[in-house]
Amino acid sequence: MAKAFYSVGFWIRETGQALDRLGCRLQGKNHFREQLSRHRTLMNVFDKAPSVDKGAFVAPSASITGDVNVGRGSSIWYGCVLRGDANSISVGAGTSIQDNALIHVAKSNLSGKVLPTVIGDNVTIGHSAVLHGCTVEDEAYISASATVLDGAHVEKHAMVAPGALVRQNTRIPSGEVWGGNPAGFLRKVTEEEKAFFSSSAVDNSKLAQAHAAENAKNLDETDFKKLLYKKNARDTEYESLLNELNLPLPESVPKAA
């Protein structure tokens, strides 16, 4: 029955998009080429549907499929893929999964276990990182291009260095930095790094709010604002937003008069 409802819903949506494109052509408009896309940010797999908190940000080009839960204030950035088909993915509150990261689950592995992927609160997952059937506790930090495999467990305030490969069933204790291929202990996490783990998650959550506001604007409003923004300059509205987020203006960009 669920499959039948899914098929009916799919064809209704396809028909609606086709009618919208036809109407745009009759009006002589090409806006539909930018406004409409066959890409679906949230997609169920039969009876497995994503659950995303209203306070979370999911970029338009991200893909969240199947049994995936995203908590309040978390951000799923551009190009990310969270695929919870064979098992579940849980993302806590205030967590940032940055551009092009891939989160998947384990249907089967050498030990015969079926493993979900569990990510805690205020975690930062760096650009192009890969997490597969593993657990990452609160306020841990997974650096860019790192890979964490089935059954691995990254404890609170632990850090995986850029490009590291954490092998299956590896446990990274709290307060340690691991790196290399395969990953091994490098050193202890400093107090400054622990503070950065927390602030990084908060800063990304605030920045995600700005991106969510921009993505909510329609095409006409966006095109109009483009006319107001001069090349290599920022307007007072954008500068005010950066100040609210405590982010510095680039030195090469002059402040608005």
Of 163, 76, 91, 80, nearest to 121 by C-alpha is: 91
Residue 225 CB-half CA count within 13 A: 13
What pLDDT shows up at residue 237? 58
What pLDDT shows up at residue 204? 87
Tell me, yes or no, whether 246 lies in a domain.
no
Q: Please tell me the total count of domains within the chain.
A: 1
In this prediction, the residues of the chain whose per-residue pLDDT falls under 50 are: 231, 249-257
Tell me, yes or no, whether 184 lies in a domain.
yes
Q: What is the DSSP string of 6-65?
A: HHHHHHHHHHHHHHHHHHHHHHT--THHHH--S--SEE-BTTB--EE-TT-EE-TT-EEE
Share of the chain above pLDDT 70, in %: 77
Global pTM reads 0.72
- Kindly report the CATH number assigned to the domain that includes residue 108: 2.160.10.10
Of 214, 257, 218, nearest to 235 by C-alpha is: 257
Tell me, yes or no, whether 222 lies in a domain.
no
In this structure, the number of other CB atoms found within 10 A of the CB of residue 86 comes to 18
